[in-house]
Chains A and B, each alone.
Chain A
């Protein structure tokens, strides 16, 4: 079964750090670009970051550039999002999603909740 499972969410104070992980299974992880997408409570989807299949190319939303770092370990079939200098507005459910052809996000994880609050 093709599956993505996120972990690492939780409660963190403003200015703190958190590292999210996404474990992939059921497909050739190293052949696909991957994305992080977040959704604040009661709000719409917001793209956060994309990484190419090899990890050579990484793109970030302006809202997280300089604070978040996306990476992957193809040997471990894992995706990561290192989040530093966290702000209240980063509070959201964070989803990892596989990128198919034509920029479609064809497989999504169940999400992990990140709450930034004192």
Chain B
């Protein structure tokens, strides 16, 4: 069981918008920054969003992040088939003294 909770899968058509939720608690999301990672099939994870809503250079502005209380959300607009991947949220858990991840969400672009 992951400390952070994500839906196992989401899907949408090309060009549409999708959101992926990540739910935690006060010891992790509630008091620490959230990051999002994209893992394309057969590759290593890549940082997509950091500090809740910032994009590293190279992340298209179609990707956005937000946080409210003990939950975070990743938004993707203008979906492309190349966005099909697994997406993970992650943060530090102050009670566990550990990095924690969500279980991952598989995005399918129909």
Q: Which A residues are within 8 Å of any B CB, using their own CB?
A: 35, 37, 44-47, 50, 59, 61, 95, 97, 100-111
Contacts and interface: CB of A to CB of B under 8 A. Distances in A.
Interface of B: 2, 32-33, 35, 37, 39, 44-47, 50-51, 56, 86, 88, 90-92, 97-104
A44 B101 contact: yes
A1 B86 CA distance: 26
A105 B103 contact: no
A45 B44 contact: no
Contact of B51 (A45, A46, A102, A105): A102
The secondary structure that dominates the B interface is strand
A106 B56 contact: yes
Given A45-B101, A104-B51, 7 more contacts: A45-B45, A102-B35, A104-B50, A105-B45, A108-B46, A109-B44, A111-B44
B28 to A, nearest CB: 10
Contact of A106 (B39, B47, B103): B47
Contacts, number: 67
B44 A104 contact: no
Contacts of B86: 44
A61 B98 contact: yes
Closest 6 CB pairs of A and B: A102-B33, A104-B50, A47-B99, A103-B92, A44-B104, A104-B35
Contacts of A37: 45, 99
Nearest to B103: A44
A35 B33 CA distance: 17
Nearest to B88: A45
B35 A45 contact: no
B44 A50 contact: no
